[in-house]
Structure 1
Amino acid sequence: MENNFSLDLALIPKELKLILEIIKIEDVERFQANSSDWFKDIDWKLFLEFALHHRVYPILSLKLKKFEVNLIPQNVIQILNLTYKKNTLQMLHLSSVMVEICKIFNDNQIKLLVLKGPILGEDLYGDVSKRTSGDLDVLIPIDDLAKIEELLPQLGYEKDDYIQTVLNDWTWRHHHVTYFHPQKNIKLEIHWRLNPGPGKEPSFIELWKRKRVSSLTSYPVYYLGREDLFLFLVSHGARHGWSRLRWLIDIKQLVKQNINWVSLAKLLKKHQFLNVAGQAIVLCSQLLSISITNEMKPLIKGKQPKMLAQAAIFYLEKMVNLHTDPVPEDISKYHKRHLTFLMSRQQRVFFFISFLYPYPEDAETLPLPKYLHFLYFPLRPFLWAWRKTKSHAIS
């Protein structure tokens, strides 16, 4: 990398560094012959916690089977092997439900693109068991959400109605709604955007034109084209601080494929994701030892991708879980700042302008009849100031 740049990894726990080394190895015998120091003073309980947190236990389980018996405690290998087997059953179950959902949506004239789940296991790793997934994520046109509202409850899915909205801000502030099937123990996320707004991203029509058909099932299951998948995965991973290594390993697997880097660069530039993509490439290079090809170099040009990559190391120094509330205050503050740094100048402008648009909290602070909701625009600064004053008084 230019100027011999390297990330500061000093504060990453040695247990996580060992996991990274195991993930990277190609020749197990050579690694074992020259790596005895890696296994000294390892807290194996913490090693397992990191493996589960970062969702990398399928890869670790398969690699550790080839290791000498005395290097790693047998109970560690047994636990990883057990979780790997459970994950295999889960992915097969998800595959079955995925096909069922695709058939039902097709029968109801709803176009659907699968975003994650077993599709990525097959496409990126060649085997659904090598990647974990807790739910199914699919993308549909926003105009078909009304059909979903009627259809999914008939199939036994219950909506997690957590979205509060005013003046239809949900259409761009949010990007998915969640359904749960209690009997099948399946969580289904219905997306109408790839990412929460505000911000530019490819339209559903564009994504549909570039779609691929999965080889995982006999029934046609459609998913994102390679360049669109790259944009989605880097934007998703960055938005979550790359706090799970699995997301970076997905990028490592994806760059091995036949990506059209010229088209990808244009796509990323158009939708303001060049620096985010550069961050992912730098992290994969430094943590997972991918080779930076000439085609990738335009994505890591300048200081910003490297600065963003270093900032993301914070999430690996700790076991950060952004999905479980309450998120510790220090992590929450850091993450808010990091999300701002990820934005391009144009995205920041859109982001700050969006604060002028009414929030559901404004309607809670001053309930008005729906036909008067337009008044929340001029009233918003005053309502925001009132909430802040009240909050400070209470504290």
Structure 2
Amino acid sequence: MKPGISPELDYLISACFSGQTAAGSAGLNSGEIARIVLGNRFLNYAFDKIDTDGFTAEVREKLESALRSNTFSSLMQAGETLKVNSLASGLGIPLHFYKGVVWSQWLFDDVKMRAPGDIDLFVSREHLIPLIDALKATGYTTHPFHEALLSSPEPTASDFLDSDYHIPLTGADESGYTKSIVEVHWRIAYPRLCFDFGPADSGRYGAHMEFLNHHIPVFSNEYQFLMMIVNHGGKEDWNRLRYVIDLKAYMDRYGLRTDWDLVDRIATEKGIRKLLGRGLGILRELGYDWKPEFPAAGQNVGIEELRDTWYRLNPLPGNASWTYFRHSVAMRDSSHKLKILKAHVRFLTSFRLHRQKLKWYREHPG
């Protein structure tokens, strides 16, 4: 979809990436602007950058209501993040936070700027079960499927942990309303995708950041930046505009003081230089002011297809395994393509684990 097919999308990109808001939103469809902003989940970032004077009262109220809801949820998640950090610290369990409100503070210096979501953290396999048990003791629950696999006799439980990367735990109030979800990760993605980021690197790249007058454990800027490239580009393929806004925020705040040689070394080691170049290329194609100090951006990044996706808001795949595989093979460095293929073969031939999963689903239809 070339510029001009959706003037509302063009307006939002211009306002958010190059700061060109002088033309205002006169003559544009305010309902379309709201649909694109809400569907791409960047309302909190865009709200002060767009001209809502010409919006209908109904659309303006819809956006203001969503903004209030997002703000409340983000503040709740921020408070819960500190509680989880205090819990783990008191038990001597080392962890590192990422995504969610932590990235909102890291990227925008404001916990309310990103769309609210889960509380994501990394913990080593050694401390995984103790942390899950501690969270459950405070009222969090795991899905029965994960509970069954974790409580399975060996080697099934280890087979599951070897093939997966995270377990979500749900915290609900007395009425059953979900107040927060904590996603406990022991790696960044399915191991068959060969994105080797996680707790094993904490010794080299661990750091702390200030978060609501507390210091919480995270990773260094360069390492978190590449985790963002992996999550937004490697897993999600930049399929929502909010992911590119995160990238813009990083370059705004840290681009001129990032050790780009270190970024290149880590990206080469992890086989994601191609992913990195594409992400930077997308940002530059959207009109971002590229400084001489920045690394080279990729060419032919498929920006028209992405613009079409951001406009049409194509449904995200329910089971992303095949999508992840195709994207990984297409977008990873040549040094890692064979590694990814071998990892998928190992997963597909993990018959013992697949039998256990199939048994559970047969016993729990629907």
With structure 2 as the length reference, what TM-score do the two structures score? 0.82
Name 1:123's counterpart in structure 2.
Answer: 106
Shift in Å, 1:203: 4.9
In structure 2, do the counterparts of structure 1 residues 234 and 98 end up closer, same or farther at CA, with 3 Å as the change threshold? same
Query: Which of the numbers 209, 213, 217 marks the counterpart of 1:214?
Result: 209
Q: How many residues are paired up?
A: 340
In structure 2, do the counterparts of structure 1 residues 161 and 230 end up closer, same or farther at CA, with 3 Å as the change threshold? farther
Instruction: Report which stretch shifted further, 42-51 or 233-242.
Output: 42-51
Query: Quick one: which amino acid aligns to residue 312 of structure 2?
Result: K
Name 1:16's counterpart in structure 2.
Answer: 9
Name 1:85's counterpart in structure 2.
Answer: 68
Are 1:110 and 2:96 counterparts?
no
CA distance in 2, matches of 1:189, 1:226: 21
Are 1:47 and 2:52 counterparts?
no
Q: CA RMSD of the aligned region, Å? A: 3.0
Q: Answer 1 or 2: higher relative contact order, Cα 8 Å, separation at least 6.
A: 2
Are 1:204 and 2:196 counterparts?
no
Name 1:188's counterpart in structure 2.
Answer: 182
Name 2:246's counterpart in structure 1.
Answer: 250
Shift in Å, 1:170: 3.3
Shift in Å, 1:333: 7.2
Query: Quick one: which amino acid aligns to residue 73 of structure 1?
Result: T
Name 1:58's counterpart in structure 2.
Answer: 44
**SS of residue matched to 1:222:** strand
* Structure 1 runs not aligned, ≥5 long: 1-7, 33-37, 368-395
CA distance in 2, matches of 1:335, 1:195: 10
CA distance in 2, matches of 1:107, 1:352: 42
Shift in Å, 1:117: 1.7
CA distance in 2, matches of 1:90, 1:265: 36
CA distance in 2, matches of 1:247, 1:287: 13
In structure 2, do the counterparts of structure 1 residues 136 and 366 end up closer, same or farther at CA, with 3 Å as the change threshold? closer
Shift in Å, 1:22: 2.3
Name 2:141's counterpart in structure 1.
Answer: 158
CA distance in 2, matches of 1:136, 1:203: 16
CA distance in 1, matches of 2:355, 2:109: 54
Shift in Å, 1:87: 1.2
Shift in Å, 1:16: 2.4
Q: Identity percentage over the alignment?
A: 14
Name 1:393's counterpart in structure 2.
Answer: none
Task: Indicate if the aligned counterparts of 1:241 and 1:315 stay in contact, CA closer than 8 A.
Answer: no
Shift in Å, 1:126: 1.8
CA distance in 1, matches of 2:63, 2:131: 38
Query: Quick one: which amino acid aligns to residue 56 of structure 1?
Result: F
* Structure 2 runs not aligned, ≥5 long: 151-155, 357-366
Instruction: Report which stretch shifted further, 335-344 or 232-241.
Output: 335-344
**SS of residue matched to 1:243:** coil
CA distance in 1, matches of 2:323, 2:4: 17
Are 1:240 and 2:236 counterparts?
yes
Shift in Å, 1:62: 1.6
CA distance in 1, matches of 2:17, 2:341: 41
Matches within 5 A, 1:15-34: 15-26=8-19, 28=21, 30-32=22-24
CA distance in 2, matches of 1:206, 1:335: 23
CA distance in 2, matches of 1:196, 1:127: 30
Shift in Å, 1:127: 1.5
Query: Quick one: which amino acid aligns to residue 87 of structure 2?
Result: I
Query: Quick one: which amino acid aligns to residue 218 of structure 2?
Result: Y
Query: Quick one: which amino acid aligns to residue 349 of structure 1?
Result: L
Instruction: Report which stretch shifted further, 148-157 or 135-144.
Output: 148-157
Are 1:145 and 2:140 counterparts?
no
CA distance in 1, matches of 2:280, 2:49: 24
Deviations 1:136-194 (A, max 9, x none): 10111121112123212111111124456958443343211111011161011001112
Name 1:281's counterpart in structure 2.
Answer: 280
In structure 2, do the counterparts of structure 1 residues 61 and 306 end up closer, same or farther at CA, with 3 Å as the change threshold? same
In structure 2, do the counterparts of structure 1 residues 253 and 157 end up closer, same or farther at CA, with 3 Å as the change threshold? same
CA distance in 2, matches of 1:204, 1:58: 31
Name 2:341's counterpart in structure 1.
Answer: 352
Task: Indicate if the aligned counterparts of 1:176 and 1:193 stay in contact, CA closer than 8 A.
Answer: yes
**SS of residue matched to 2:239:** coil
Greater Cα radius of gyration, structure 1 or 2 = 1
